[in-house]
């Protein structure tokens, strides 16, 4: 499930162009906060709201940092054969941490676990909001 699409559907927006105006400038956490606030305000089924809250908690518990480091970090192969990632922006700019191909696989797996949490919660609520292209 895509947070932007969840927000668009909660707001019953007429098209993706309008949706991009609403969510296009939002990072992940503000999108979660907006989706949760809308779900509560519009009295979405409990399963959907609970899935959003659980997914946001996983993000706030460090998955967002791991994802950003994997996607935006500068990756190096050190002389000793170990992989490292250097953060090049934000609070951790210049910080180098050890990583490995398995680390990247774990981050991807954790992201998919959060995605499945959202999908399961929305399916249980009877809300399968995956968009269909016209």
Residue 130 in domain: no
pTM confidence score = 0.80
pLDDT of residue 129: 65
Taking the C-alpha atoms of residue 50 and residue 124, their distance in angstroms, rounded to an integer, is 11
Domain count, the chain: 1
Residue 85 in domain: no
Taking the C-alpha atoms of residue 36 and residue 34, their distance in angstroms, rounded to an integer, is 5
Residue 133 in domain: no
Taking the C-alpha atoms of residue 88 and residue 124, their distance in angstroms, rounded to an integer, is 41
**Residue 1 CB coordination number (10 Å):** 25
Residue 31 in domain: yes
Residue 119 in domain: yes
Distance of CA 18 to CAs 4, 5, 21, Å?
A: 11, 11, 5
Name every residue whose Cβ is closer than 8 Å to that of residue 114 and which is 6 or more positions away in sequence. 55, 58, 59, 63
Residue 101 in domain: no
Residue 45 in domain: yes
pLDDT digits 0-9 by tens, 50-69:
999 999 999 899 888 888 88
Q: Tokens 């932007």 map to which residue? A: 4
* 3-class state of residue 119 by DSSP: helix
Name every residue whose Cβ is closer than 8 Å to that of residue 83 and which is 6 or more positions away in sequence. 75, 76, 77, 98, 99, 100, 101, 103
- Could you tell me the residue range of the domain that residue 49 belongs to? 3-72+112-124
Q: How confident is the model at residue 134 (pLDDT cuts 50, 70, 90)?
A: very low
Tokens of 8: 């668009």
If you average pLDDT over residues 89-114, what whole number do you get? 86
Q: What percent of the chain has pLDDT over 70?
A: 95
Q: How confident is the model at residue 103 (pLDDT cuts 50, 70, 90)?
A: confident
* 3-class state of residue 47 by DSSP: helix
């Amino acid at each position: 499930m895509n947070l932007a699409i969840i927000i668009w559907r909660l707001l019953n927006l007429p098209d993706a162009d309008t949706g991009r105006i609403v969510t296009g400038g939002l990072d992940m956490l503000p999108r979660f906060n907006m989706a949760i606030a809308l779900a509560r305000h519009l009295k979405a089924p409990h399963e959907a709201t609970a899935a959003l809250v659980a997914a946001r908690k996983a993000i706030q518990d460090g998955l967002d940092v791991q994802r950003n480091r994997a996607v935006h970090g500068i990756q190096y192969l050190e002389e000793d054969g170990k992989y490292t990632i250097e953060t090049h922006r934000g609070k951790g700019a210049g910080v180098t941490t050890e990583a490995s191909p398995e680390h990247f696989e774990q981050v991807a797996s954790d992201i998919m676990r959060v995605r499945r949490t959202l999908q399961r919660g929305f399916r249980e609520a009877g809300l399968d909001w995956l968009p269909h292209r016209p």
